[in-house]
Structure 1
Amino acid sequence: MGSIILASASPRRSELLEQIGVEFSVQPAHIDETPRSAEMPGDYVERLAREKALAVAVDFPGKLVLGSDTSVILENAILGKPADEHEARSILAELSGTTHQVMTAIALAQDGHCESRLVTTEVSFRSLSPAEIAAYVATGEPMDKAGSYGIQGLGGIFVQELKGSYSAVVGLPLQETAVLLANAGCPVWKYWPSSRESQS
């Protein structure tokens, strides 16, 4: 399965692909991520995932290229990665005690053809004190993450309830990724090691 490329430098997406047994190489995509005028959040997230996959696929004929994008949405507004610590604190204060959506899109491109899926997960935060927001921002964890938190890290203690895909909130919806790869003739389970083989 060495013909699969992940069009992302995110270590979290790499870890999730490894979790389901996918062998892949990494080739980050470089695209303009500016939202279009009046573009809906779901359309924006899915467009970026597709553009990332297609941008990398152009340079690798015949290869399967996975592109993904994640955005945190609060009251229909896209909360991206914070520009600085002040913005990170402000975003976390906005999320405190509310329910927001995490939208993650996964796209699989090959030779100009692209299939994609959009996954929306509802995440509810408990109320956060200014002191713990400040302490969390001081760790540096929020600085490279949409919505200024990582559910798989220290920020996991803020989450009161989650409805939907946990892996999508981390950055890659595993079920949808596996379906796209299977539809493209690469079911991930075919590459899982057998315990019988390891014992022989």
Structure 2
Amino acid sequence: MKKLTHDFYVRDTITVAQDLLGKLLVHRMESVERIGRIVEVEAYLGAHDLAAHSSKGITKRTQVMYGPPGRAYVYLIYGMHHCMNVVTEPEGNGAAVLIRALEPVANLPGNTKGPGLLCKAMGITRERDAHELTSDDFFIAEPETADRIGIIKRPRIGVDYAGDWAHELLRFYIEGNAFVSRR
């Protein structure tokens, strides 16, 4: 496995989101390597995107979204589910990509169809917030062989409060993959 470099994450958020499909999320903990293939993501484009957490400005919770890129933004929803994002674009933009679903590759117990479920299966908690994704224990990598994939574009899930932004086609998933959270 070859880890993605910092340069991968500095790019446009939509490009990074689509390019993350098929990559491997790796979390090494307690001498176990948990690996999942990224099959579904959502792009959050910065402070002007009313569905993005960064639209509320820089807070203690959102400051990691503003950079540097290539870090994990991990937050808790409903007081019980962790969600993981990948910070993108140059510092100051507040952009990130939510990882929505994984196809299990190694040592992934449980369901990985949904952002909270995949974090539970991967053992990802707020302790990984702001963690550099080029580290040795938590990173994203190229698979040994890359399959050609078709990418489906849909509106993001659960952002009805965001006005017109709720209808933007910023959710991407691998066509025909059985581990996508919703069609």
TM-score, structure 2 normalization: 0.30
Q: Which fold has the larger relative contact order, with Cα–Cα distance below 8 Å and residues 6 or more apart in sequence?
A: 2
Higher CA-based Rg: 1
